[in-house]
Amino acid sequence: MVPRGRGIEPPGQLPLPLKLDRFAAFETFVADSNETLVRHLQTVAHGERSDVVWICGAKGRGKSHLLQATCRAADRAGIRPMYLPLGTDGELDPDCLLGLDSIGLLALDQVDAVAGRPAWEARLFAVLEGMQSSGRPLLLAADTVPSAARFALADLASRAAAATVYRLNPLSDDGQRQALEEHARGLGLELDEATARYLLTRVEREVGELCRWLDRLDRASLVEQRRLTVPFVRKALKSGASF
């Protein structure tokens, strides 16, 4: 597992911690109709490819999960990764991108959040150009395809358009249930099909939110020494699982 708090130190910059959600791994991602993308990212994580990959899709389809899973697998393979979400308003400065083109594998999330912002676009273009010239892989994730990202910098728009683009397809109902069960299994929880289906009808069907609920239910089940059954989950949801 990638250790939390590992950072890098570009010239003049403070270390940026590599913080990955504990559930974000290839093992917990249900590919469903996204198998080609997953296979591509696995080859990137193992150093077999070094291209620029743009992943797009609506919120909750697993973009962040896949970026982080690739970083986690790359770290295990001995490749120095960095995951950085750009959509954290007010928390980041464009200069946080300085020196990142020296990273073994760079994954930038929510890239469209900085479109139309000159300082950010200039730094992003420099990163893209640096990663490509050094033959290092760059993963980019956004809600839209590159042509719809509304980059003002023509060179950046052109480089982004040349990336290998994948659109994440939504999971089927069975795929969502399987994903929930996989995450539960990763936590050491027993989640039968009936309970999984009940939870899916009661909470937002976004992978991150589902995993946060599983964490709460995990704590609740430990406190009460109860298995995850439909009655127990119903009670926990009503109480907000504030255990």
- Residue-wise pLDDT for 213-239, tens only, equals 888 888 888 888 888 889 988 888 887
What CA–CA distance (Å, rounded) separates 235 from 36? 40
Residue 183 tokens read as 């995450």
For the chain, which domains are there? 26-167 (3.40.50.300), 173-239 (1.10.8.60)
- Residue-wise pLDDT for 68-98, tens only, equals 999 999 999 999 999 999 987 667 899 999 9
What pLDDT is recorded for position 11?
33
Distances (CA, A) of 74 to 43, 44, 120, 175: 10, 8, 26, 26
3-class secondary structure, 45: helix
What pLDDT is recorded for position 92?
87
- Residues in the chain, pLDDT under 50: 1-16, 242-243
What pLDDT is recorded for position 218?
85
What CA–CA distance (Å, rounded) separates 30 from 84? 23
What pLDDT is recorded for position 113?
94
What pLDDT is recorded for position 90?
66
Q: What residues have CB less than 8 Å from 134, skipping those under 6 apart?
A: 101, 102
Alpha-helix residue ranges (DSSP H) falling in 52-117: 63-76
